[in-house]
Amino acid sequence: MNNAADDLTSRSVETSSRKFKRILVYISALGIAFLIGLVPMWWRGRSCANELNSVQGALQVSSLQNMLGNASMDARRGDYEPARQATSEFFTRLRTEVDRGQDSVFTEAQRSNLTPVFATRDDMITLLARNDPASVDRLTDLYNKYRQVAVVPAR
């Protein structure tokens, strides 16, 4: 009788062991299938994130250019206060972007070429605050300098 019970127990253990191995194989196959699906999606997400960063950088450069162009147009029309505000905002955003260092949308060469632009900040804002017509030409020069340094031509 003991032999029959041992036999039944050993068959039960073998059956449990086979079921456990089968479940382990299924779980492993499911894990591999998950990874096969995950890797391409991760790769695509990563490339989309890189593209998004690139586009956001171009947008930042373009936004700064647009802000300075609008200030130049306002000054040309004689709207010196909006031009002063936009110019001040331009310099503030440009300083923030240049100070970001390696994380900046500008290259090292662009950052070093843009640094001298900050020397004109106080004079430019003062001229605009005084409603001085000379500020129009100075803003136009600043706009052209920014375009030469910061804006990469379309290919």
**pTM given for the model:** 0.70
Instruction: Report the mean per-residue pLDDT for the chain.
Output: 87
Vertex 153 angle, CA 148 and 155, to 5°: 165
Asked if residue 88 is part of any domain, the answer here is yes
Residue 122 forms part of a structural domain:
yes
pLDDT value for 146: 92
Using pLDDT thresholds of 50, 70 and 90, give the confidence band for residue 1: low
Tell me whether residue 87 is in a domain.
yes
**155: in domain:** no
Is 6 a residue whose pLDDT tops 80? no
| pLDDT: which is higher, 13 or 30 | 30
Band of residue 45 on the pLDDT scale cut at 50, 70, 90:
confident
Mean pLDDT in residue range 107-131: 91
Region 117-134: mean pLDDT is 92
Predicted local distance difference test score (pLDDT) of residue 92: 94
Q: What proportion of the chain, given as a percentage, has pLDDT over 90?
A: 43
* Two tokens, residue 130: 């005084």
- Structural domain harbouring 31: 2-150
- Looking up tokens 């052209």 gives 144
Does 146 fall in a domain? Answer: yes
The confidence score (pLDDT) of residue 155 equals 43
Q: Is residue 74 part of a domain?
A: yes
98 phi-psi bin (left φ>0, alpha ψ -120 to 50, beta other):
alpha
Q: State how far the Cα of 12 lies from the Cα of 32, in Å rounded to an integer.
A: 30
Q: Does pLDDT of 81 surpass 50?
A: yes
Which of 155, 151, 121, 115 lies closest to 138 in space, CA to CA?
121
CATH number of the domain within which 144 lies: 1.20.120
Question: How many domains, the chain?
Answer: 1
